[in-house]
């Protein structure tokens, strides 16, 4: 695990603020779902993405097909074909 050197305090409701630079780097937008994991005494946040969803646009459906290690939906495959 890589340290960012960023330290934040929780507020009275237990909330923390993720710095703008970190949100931009990880492409976390307003209302982006984050999944919470606990590993011993660590809390890990990951961008939530349902299994089988498109790696490019995030859509979920039966039209998502694997290509190597990524999943691509029909719309994104069509856009790539037009390049």
Could you tell me if 38 and 56 lie in one domain? Answer: no
Return mean pLDDT, the chain: 90
Q: Residue 16: its pLDDT value, please?
A: 94
Q: Residue 32: its pLDDT value, please?
A: 87
Contacts of 22 (CB under 8 A, 6+ apart): 4, 6, 28
Could you tell me if 43 and 22 lie in one domain? Answer: yes
Could you tell me if 40 and 62 lie in one domain? Answer: no
pLDDT confidence tier of residue 8, bands split at 50, 70 and 90: very high
Assign residue 31 a region (left: φ > 0; alpha: ψ between -120 and 50; beta: otherwise): left
Q: What is the pLDDT of residues 21-61, one digit of tens each?
A: 999 988 898 988 899 999 999 999 998 888 889 988 888 88
Query: The domain that contains 9 carries what CATH number?
Result: 2.10.260.10
Asked if the model's pLDDT at residue 82 lies above 90, the reply is yes
Q: Residue 12: its pLDDT value, please?
A: 97
Instruction: State which residues form the domain around 80.
Output: 50-83
């Amino acid at each position: 695990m890589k340290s960012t050197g960023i330290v934040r305090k929780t507020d009275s409701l237990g909330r923390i603020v993720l710095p703008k630079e970190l949100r931009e780097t990880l492409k976390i937008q307003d209302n982006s779902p984050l999944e919470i994991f606990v590993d011993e005494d660590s809390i890990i946040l990951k961008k939530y993405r349902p299994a089988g969803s498109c790696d490019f646009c995030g859509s979920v459906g039966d039209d998502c097909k694997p290509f190597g290690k990524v999943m691509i939906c029909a719309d994104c495959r069509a856009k790539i074909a037009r390049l």
